Amino acid sequence: MKIERLELRLLRLPLVRFFETSFGRSDDRLFILVTAFGDGLEGWGECVAEEAPYYSSETTETAWHIITRFVAPRVLGVEFAHPRDILPALAAIRGHHMAKAAVEMAAWDLFARARAQPLWRVLGGTRTRIESGVSIGIQDSIDQLLRQVETELAAGYRRIKIKIKPGWDVTAIRAIRQRFGSIRLMTDANGAYRLEDADHLRELDAFDLMMIEQPLGYDDVLEHARLQARLNTAICLDESIHDAKTAIEAIELGACRIINVKPGRVGGHAASIALHDACAARRTPVWHGGMLESGIGRAHNIHLASLPNFTLPGDIAASRRYYVPDLIDPPVDVAPDGTIGVPGGPGIGVRIDLDRVDAATSRRSSLSAASTT
């Protein structure tokens, strides 16, 4: 396969409702869409870097810069036997996984379309529906939180994750348990605690949580191992896992029992498959995380989550929780049983509404081999 041209778009979309984590509140999302053109076909990818460097060090603008200056020149006009060969071709560029992933994932879509196959088949998926859960942000009050949980349970979602931080943890979890009983419940701290908080975090053991995600530092493994030794509740790592290698280190050190897979965080689909396989070989379950993607990134996530070791419900939910209208038509919907169907058409298998894409676009750039060398 060969990418003859790349198109970048910068878009801003308002969120249906604010989303608050331990690092702050967002009301909208500023992100990049990538279109890869080749052989008369196109493939789409979405960059999950956020406007601010809080979840990770990358931002929307660093990703734009890295793709334009360093990724595009290494892929444009180059013949790749398979999209799995793209990430290795970018090895000279350290880090910047989100920038790399946006282009790599567009290439997977293009490759699958060229083979007239749905992406999930090309990725090695084994199921046609995935289990869906929701990630509920920090709210203004416990009442507001309980109303959110009630809405999502009524929609059928198979597990509830709530964002926590010091001051918004035990009380919130206790209120949910009291009101909703033994639902599948977990928390995500996005690195808001320190190892010195271990005694406090042990209080969460009383609530039969499925897991606690990323309690400690965003780049830490060792302190998570020390914490896991003191907790009954499983730790799941998100931010700390950059690739299969860091996952193996974390698993072998006992830093976590579960891993969150986000293709943007690890450099794309090929890296996600490697991470998925490394976890499977160590009997460590994975689930698919989310980065508030539009329907385009969401479609990629749905296909990837069809691989066999995604045995826990992920943070892939219906479009209506994020963007109305979404950039794809029809939007992603969840069935009353809390599952989402994996699209069966070629590539990501969703119809992109170009008018909506264009209306949200504030900057565009076309990159071709001639213009970048």
Q: Which of 283, 192, 205, 277 is nearest to 238 (CA)?
A: 192
Q: How far apart are CA 253 and CA 223, in angstroms?
A: 10
Among 148, 190, 240, 309, binds ligand OSB (CB under 6 A): 190
Minimum CB–partner distance for residue 181 and Mg ion (Å): 25
The interface region with Mg ion, picked from 27-35, 63-71, 82-90, 236-244 by CB under 5 A, is 236-244
Among 43, 125, 268, 289, binds ligand OSB (CB under 6 A): 289
Tell me whether residue 362 is exposed, middle or buried, using C-beta atoms within 10 angstroms of its C-beta: 0 to 12, 13 to 18, 19 or more.
exposed
Tokens of 158: 């198979």
What is the x/- site pattern for ligand OSB, positions 18-57, by CB under 6 A?
A: -------------------------------------x--
Q: Transcribe 155-213 into DSSP letters.
A: TT-S-EEEE-BTTBSHHHHHHHHHHH-S--EEEE-TT---GGGHHHHHGGGGG--S-EE
Interface with ligand OSB, residue 292, by CB under 6 A: yes
Interface with ligand OSB, residue 312, by CB under 6 A: no
Interface with ligand OSB, residue 291, by CB under 6 A: yes
24: phi > 0 → left, psi -120 to 50 → alpha, else beta; which? left
Interface with Mg ion, residue 293, by CB under 5 A: no
Q: Can you say how many angstroms the Cα of residue 292 is from the centroid of all Cα atoms in its chain?
A: 8
Minimum CB–partner distance for residue 346 and ligand OSB (Å): 25
The interface region with ligand OSB, picked from 215-223, 269-277, 287-295, 348-356 by CB under 6 A, is 287-295
Give the residue with the Cβ less far from ligand OSB, 37 or 310. Answer: 310
125: phi > 0 → left, psi -120 to 50 → alpha, else beta; which? beta
Tokens of 191: 């690195």
Give the residue with the Cβ less far from ligand OSB, 66 or 189. Answer: 189
Minimum CB–partner distance for residue 239 and Mg ion (Å): 7
What does residue 361 show for φ and ψ, rounded to 5 degrees? -90, 130
The interface region with ligand OSB, picked from 264-272, 284-292, 330-338, 342-350 by CB under 6 A, is 284-292
Tokens of 314: 């992920």
Interface with Mg ion, residue 109, by CB under 5 A: no
Whole-angstrom CA distances from 292 to 17, 100, 121, 222 are: 11, 18, 25, 29
Give the residue with the Cβ less far from ligand OSB, 83 or 289. Answer: 289
42 binds, among ligand OSB, Mg ion, none (CB under 5 to 8 A by kind): none
Minimum CB–partner distance for residue 214 and ligand OSB (Å): 7
Footprint on residues 120-149 left by ligand OSB (CB under 6 A): 135
In this structure, are residues 354 and 4 in contact, taking their beta carbons and an 8 Å threshold? no
**Could you tell me how many residues of this chain bind ligand OSB (CB under 6 A)?**
11
Q: Which residue ranges make up the site for ligand OSB (CB under 6 A)?
A: 55, 135, 188, 190, 238, 289-292, 315, 317
Q: Which residue ranges make up the site for Mg ion (CB under 5 A)?
A: 188, 213, 238
